[in-house]
Amino acid sequence: MVSSPAVGSISAPDDPLLHDLYGSTCRELPTASDRLRLVASFERPIDLVELEQLCDAVGWSRRPLRRVRRALDNSLLVVGLWRHDPRVPRLVGFARCTGDGVLDATIWDLAIHPLYQRSGLGRGLMQAIVERLQTLGVERATLFADPDVIDFYQRQGWTLEPDGVRCAFWYSR
Ligand SMILES: CC(C)(COP(=O)(O)OP(=O)(O)OC[C@H]1O[C@@H](n2cnc3c(N)ncnc32)[C@H](O)[C@@H]1OP(=O)(O)O)[C@@H](O)C(=O)NCCC(=O)NCCS
């Protein structure tokens, strides 16, 4: 399990309004503006259409929503990054983990909306996920990085497995 370095840093907010909207385990990510508040929530339900719009924005192919719903329901944890608005929070980031909840977890589908990229939010969301996994007692986390984001993970201390030595895939079609 890696410990992502501090990013200035994510924090547990003491604002009761944020707890009402995003749950008691939410984390606030630092931003450059007092008017922009971004909150990582493991408890706020994800609207599937909003998630599809986020995935569209980062260029991922669409998946049937009912299968996505089941995938989220079967995940160990699901995290949304919300642009805080007391009336209509907007989903600007997302990730989920599968796993046994004790020994191993695998992180999937990390996405930050392009309008919010390169501001430390991907790193902050990863830190929130790693801290949550540590709280759950999970001992090891893995992920599969697209080739163009390997550096992003390496900068945070993730170890690359040697090419083709341990990792194997099976695809149904
Ligand atoms: C990959 C992604 C999550 C990064 O999010 P982000 O909020 O832009 O990243 P951050 O701003 O937190 O970047 C943290 C650091 O990684 C660097 N970085 C960000 N994206 C990078 C990339 N694609 N390649 C290399 N370095 C990258 C940043 O420059 C920053 O460097 P610093 O530590 O010197 O400041 C985001 O670009 C994204 O959603 N991409 C599309 C979906 C995707 O590819 N997801 C990953 C699937 S494996």
| pLDDT tens, per residue, the chain with 173 residues | 444 433 458 899 999 999 999 999 999 999 999 899 999 999 999 999 999 999 999 999 999 999 999 999 999 999 999 999 999 999 999 999 999 999 999 999 999 999 999 999 999 999 999 999 999 999 999 999 988 999 999 999 998 887 656 676 777 77
| Closest by CA position to 81, among listed 144, 32, 142, 31 | 31
Supply the pLDDT for residue 6. Answer: 39
State yes or no: is 22 an active-site residue. no
The H helix count followed by the E strand count for the chain is: 5, 6
Which atom of ligand 1 is found nearest the CA of 146?
A: 48
Structural domains of the chain in order of their starting residue, each with its CATH number: 16-154 (3.40.630.30)
Strand blocks (E) in the chain: 27-29, 38-41, 77-83, 90-99, 104-112, 140-143
| Closest by CA position to 125, among listed 21, 56, 28 | 28
Supply the pLDDT for residue 63. Answer: 97
CA angle 49, 64, 39 (to 5 degrees): 35
Supply the pLDDT for residue 110. Answer: 98
Which atom of ligand 1 is found nearest the CA of 60?
A: 42
d(CA 46, CA 78): 9
Which residue, chain included where needed, has tokens 């040697």?
Answer: 162
- Hey, what are 63's tokens? 């998946």
Q: Which residue among 4, 38, 108, 118 is best mutated to probe the pocket of ligand 1, counting the most ligand atoms within 8 A of its Cβ?
A: 118
- Nearest CA residue ID for atom 15, ligand 1: 152
Supply the pLDDT for residue 8. Answer: 59
Q: Is 56 in the pocket of ligand 1 (CB under 6 A)?
A: no
Supply the pLDDT for residue 4. Answer: 42
